[in-house]
Amino acid sequence: MKYVCSSCGSEFLKWSGKCSSCGEWGTLEEVEETLSSSGKHEPVKVANYGELAKYNIKSSSKKDESHISTGYGELDRVLGKGFVHGEVVLLSGEPGVGKSTLLMQVVMKFCKKGRVLYVCGEESPAQLYSRFDRLNNGKDSKYSSNFVVTEDTVVENILALLENEKFDLIVVDSIQSVSSTMSKGYAGSVSQVRLSGSLFTRIAKTKGIPVFIVGQINKGGDIAGPKVLEHIVDCVLYMEGDQYNQYRIVRSMKNRFGSTNEIGVFEMRSNGLEEVGNPSLLFLESESDSSGSAIGAIMQGSRVVFVEVQALVVARESEVGPMRRVANGIKKPRLDMLCAVLSRKGGVFLGDKDVFVNVVGGLNVNDPSIDLAVCAAIKSSVKDVSIPKNKVFFGEVGLTGEIRGMWGVESIVSESKRAGYDELVIGRTKIGESAGIKVKKMIKISSL
Ligand code: TYD
Ligand code: MG
């Protein structure tokens, strides 16, 4: 018997009100340790083994290990050329972001090639059908007989079904709605999510069936239930976007079969998600040249994306109360740091001012190369001088006020040229002059 924190996944032998690892209150849940996934001791037998060379994919005649396309280039890019046999993909995101829609679209394409089992624990099959109908524009589909649905949310029953029938893809929507009879607790509790997750993973590995699992996220943005789910699956995808914006970004946080950092961009339409082929200019909105706005270039995987950063700096009305630093689209600690660097090293004193920063278009940027654009926007707001719209910023700002050239600068230069910008401000890099665009190297934040 042990206790697991539903917020951070830490394990304890004794229960307490507060998790001593992440500091959350009331998150420790009792978890039963099962010795094997079948719940009983299995007799000892000699483990299977074989030489590594036997497992060479390229030489093996079966093309089992090759990548299977999802039918959507944007999703394939995030997964790494598609998914492979036996891969377990966890798709998480806030409620209503479009996880079920995306998976249904994938299933509708996959049905032409193979048989799919869709475990609908969140919705009734009738609701599922109405979405199917909507995505199909009311037309009856000829390949729907491969689309098999079950309402059963008991994992053992689903596994028994998989013993009897052959499926080529399994979708579990969602892991919080299924439960196993071998564990105590309601569906969605830490022990149920852990156990159900590992049972589905085991079936994926032993039978070679790819499994897509939907995971709900809690208010903190973590996958609800234990982090351990992230450890056992092969790929963790995160779908983001907000209600007021039609764009949805699928990002990989972990990927055993491809690179992370790649993004796939979709647009939510009235009849489903549509791929956005070239997202580089998607997140630029305002045409006006008012002060407090700067264009930044960031690398998202192998792709360059231009974003507009807006800043508003206002003098504080009174000296009491906390200073406000509001960051939308970048992390708040990053904004605090950039404000401090600007105050001390950039000649822009912000100690008596409130600062608000927003990345237009709903994109969440973790890439530090946006720093220079954030600083430029803040300074532009303070001085009330607008920045020309044909200028792009790219660079990470360090604590001493230095601007570092970042990896990927060659692509930034060529992509900026292609997008029609005239001037690129970057940090210290080895890159030389480039025809067609003015490349300005900035070494210190004070020269901004
Ligand atoms: P859904 O896939 O149910 O979200 P999740 O599974 O992540 O909770 O998506 C629901 C939202 O998507 C809902 O607000 C309606 C919208 N939507 C469209 O705009 N167009 C569509 O074609 C579909 C199916 C949904
Ligand atoms: Mg859903």
Nearest CA to ligand 1 atom 13: 96
| Nearest alpha carbon, ligand 1 atom 11 | 96
- Residue 140 CB partners (closer than 8 Å, separation 6+): none
**Distance of CA 49 from the midpoint of ligand 1 (Å):** 46
**82 by DSSP, 3-state: which?**
coil
Ligand at shortest distance from the CA of 174: 2
Flag the least confident range among 38-42, 125-129, 289-293, 329-333. 38-42
Omega prior to 189 cis, within 30 of 0? no
| Distance from Cα 150 to the centre of ligand 1, integer Å | 20
Residues near 380 by beta carbon (within 8 Å), at least 6 away in sequence: 291, 292, 293, 294, 311, 386, 387
pLDDT at 301: 77
Give mean pLDDT, residues 60-64. 48
- pLDDT over 50 at 61, yes or no: no
d(CA 380, CA 388): 11
Q: How far is the CA of 222 from the centre of ligand 2 (A)?
A: 17
Protein residue with its CA nearest to atom 15 in ligand 1: 96
Q: What angle do CA 270, 74, 150 make, to 5 degrees?
A: 65
Looking only at the bridges linking them, the beta strands covering 263-269 and 272-275 are: antiparallel
CA distances to 186, 281, 360, 381, 417 from 286, rounded to whole Å, are 48, 12, 9, 16, 20
Q: What is the pLDDT, as a whole number, of residue 42?
A: 65
Q: Which atom of ligand 1 is nearest to the CA of 271?
A: 22
Binned at pLDDT 50, 70 and 90, residue 60 comes out as very low
Q: Say if residue 39's pLDDT is above 60.
A: no
**Structure-token pair, residue 95:** 């409620």
Q: Give 7 or 343, the one with higher predicted confidence.
A: 343
Buried b (16+ CB within 10 A) or exposed e, 242-265: eeeeebbbbbbeebebbeebbbbb
Two tokens, residue 424: 């690129």
pLDDT (tens digit per residue) in 119-163: 999 899 999 988 988 888 766 655 578 899 999 999 999 999 999
Q: Which residue has the higher pLDDT, 44 or 376?
A: 376
Calculate how far, in angstroms, residue 435's C-alpha sits from the geometric centre of ligand 2: 49
Ligand with minimal distance to 177 CA: 2
- Give residue 221's pLDDT: 58
Tell me the CATH class for 66-277.
Answer: alpha beta
Please state the atom number of ligand 1 nearest to the C-alpha of residue 270: 20
Return the number of other C-beta atoms located less than 10 Å from residue 160's C-beta.
Answer: 12
Cα 249 to ligand 1 centroid, rounded to whole Å: 14
CA atoms within 13 A on the CB side of 25: 0
Closest approach atom of ligand 1 to CA 103:
2
Which residue has a Cα nearest atom 23 of ligand 1?
Answer: 272
Task: Report the pLDDT value the prediction gives residue 376, as an integer from 0 to 100.
Answer: 96
Ligand number nearest CA of 99 is 1
Q: Which of 119, 123, 239, 268 to mutate to test the pocket of ligand 1 (most atoms within 8 A of CB)?
A: 268
User: Which residues lie with the beta carbon below 6 Å from any ligand 1 atom?
Assistant: 93, 95-101, 131, 134-135, 268, 270-272
Closest Cα partner for 100 from 76, 72, 81, 119?
119
Nearest CA to ligand 1 atom 20: 270
Give the CATH number of domain 281-447; options: 3.40.720.10, 3.20.20.100, 3.30.1330.30, 3.30.230.10: 3.30.230.10
Q: Which ligand is nearest to the CA of 273?
A: 1
| Measured distance CA(300)–CA(406) in Å, rounded | 13
Dist. CA 104 → ligand 2 center (Å): 10
Atom of ligand 1 nearest to the CA of 95: 8
- Atom 14 of ligand 1, residue of closest alpha carbon: 96
Give mean pLDDT, residues 296-324: 87
- Asked if residue 392 has pLDDT above 50, the reply is yes
Quick one: CA torsion of 385, 388, 392, 393, rounded to 10 degrees? -10
Which ligand has an atom closest to residue 102 CA?
1
Per-residue pLDDT tens digits for 354-370: 999 999 877 889 889 99
Write the pLDDT tens digit of every residue in 249-296: 898 888 888 877 788 889 998 889 999 877 777 777 666 678 999 999
Alpha-carbon distance of 219 to 229, in angstroms, equals 17
Task: Pick the closest to residue 275 from 303, 247, 297 (CA basis).
Answer: 247
Expressed in angstroms and rounded, the spacing between residue 99 Cα and the centre of ligand 1 is 8
Report CA(215)–ligand 2 centroid distance (Å): 9
Q: Which of 170, 189, 20 is nearest to 85 (CA)?
A: 170
At residue 222, does pLDDT exceed 90? no
Q: Which residues of 204-230 are buried (b: 16+ CB within 10 A; e: fewer)?
A: beeeebbbbbbbbbeeeebbbbbebbb
Q: Measured between alpha carbons, how far is 151 from 134 in angstroms, rounded to an integer?
A: 20
Q: How far apart are CA 262 and CA 77, in angstroms?
A: 7
Q: In angstroms, what is the span from residue 100 Cα to ligand 2's centroid?
A: 4
Helix (H, G, I), strand (E, B) or coil at 448: coil
227 is written with which tokens?
A: 């982090």
Listed by start position, the domains of the chain span 1-34, 66-277, 281-447
Comparing C-alpha atoms, which of 391, 387, 381, 396 is closest to residue 445?
A: 396
d(CA 219, CA 213): 19
- Atom of ligand 1 minimally distant from the CA of 123: 3
Smallest CA separation from ligand 1 atom 21, residue = 272
Select the more confidently predicted residue: 176 or 228.
176
Q: Token pair 């998150």 is at which residue? A: 27
Give residue 134 CA to ligand 1 midpoint distance, Å: 11
Ligand nearest to the CA of 134: 1
Q: Return the percentage of the chain with pLDDT > 70, whole number.
A: 90
CA of 417 to the centre of ligand 2 (A): 41
Task: Give the DSSP letter string of 406-442.
Answer: -TTHHHHHHHHHHTT-SEEEE-B-S----TTSEEEE-
Residue 243 CA: nearest ligand 1 atom is 14
pLDDT digits (tens, 9 = 90+) for 6-20: 777 788 899 999 888
Compute the average pLDDT of residues 383-393: 92
Q: What is the mean predicted confidence (pLDDT) over 18-27?
A: 84
- The per-residue pLDDT for range 87-104, each reduced to its tens digit, is 999 998 888 889 999 999
Average pLDDT, the chain: 85
What's residue 194's pLDDT?
86
pTM of the model: 0.77
Residues of the chain with pLDDT > 90: what percent?
42
Residues 121, 124, 125, 130, CA torsion sign: negative
Determine the Cα–Cα distance for residues 429 and 439; give it in Å rounded to an integer.
11
* Residue 321 burial class via C-beta count within 10 angstroms: exposed 0-12, middle 13-18, buried 19 and up: exposed
Burial environment of residue 148 by CB neighbours within 10 A (0 to 12, 13 to 18, 19 or more): middle
